[in-house]
Amino acid sequence: MSGLVAVLAVGPERIPDDEDLQQLVRCYEAVRGPCAVTVSRGGSRARAARLDAAGAVPAPGGWPVTVGVPSAGSGTTPGSPAWLRSADGQFALVGYDDDTDEAVVANDPLGMAAVYVAAGAGVLYVSTSCLALAKHLAAPADRLAVQ
């Protein structure tokens, strides 16, 4: 099974670096086991990684970082507003647009692929595993949420 994690800058005061992302990847692997990791970078403001189970063949890299099987109208750029309006399937994604310097975090219309988001000091942490986020933030997790 594949997963994703990301670190996104919220404002100009904090720029996520590769170590921010690698710490979150290590927490994901501590919860889910060893993974093949494909990293994508968006300027200085976004870092994301797709994590595939050990032994799995990673999907081609690039922006957006997507897990699951999304489909959308032809001629639309994955992760773009037009693509998101027409997207169908079971998926989670983190995308970044170099032209607008904006990131998007989305999941399928029915929420079948869960995406968890936590705010840190000037950044958003994103993961398909709430336990990985809890471990990364050193926050207690219970059955209902990360506290």
pTM: predicted TM-score of the whole model, two decimal places:
0.80
pLDDT per residue as tens digits for the range 7-62 = 998 888 888 889 999 999 999 999 888 888 989 888 888 999 988 876 555 444 44
Q: Does domain 3-137 have CATH number 3.60.20.10?
A: yes
Rounded to a whole number of angstroms, the CA Rg of the chain reads 15
- Distance between CA atoms of residues 49 and 37, nearest Å: 6
With residue 9 as reference, give the H or E element that holds it.
Answer: strand 3-9
Residue 42's CB is within 10 A of a number of other CB atoms, namely 23
pLDDT per residue as tens digits for the range 85-107 = 888 888 888 888 777 888 888 88
- Distance between CA atoms of residues 29 and 11, nearest Å: 28
Measure Cα distances from 136 to 50, 98, 129 in Å: 17, 27, 11
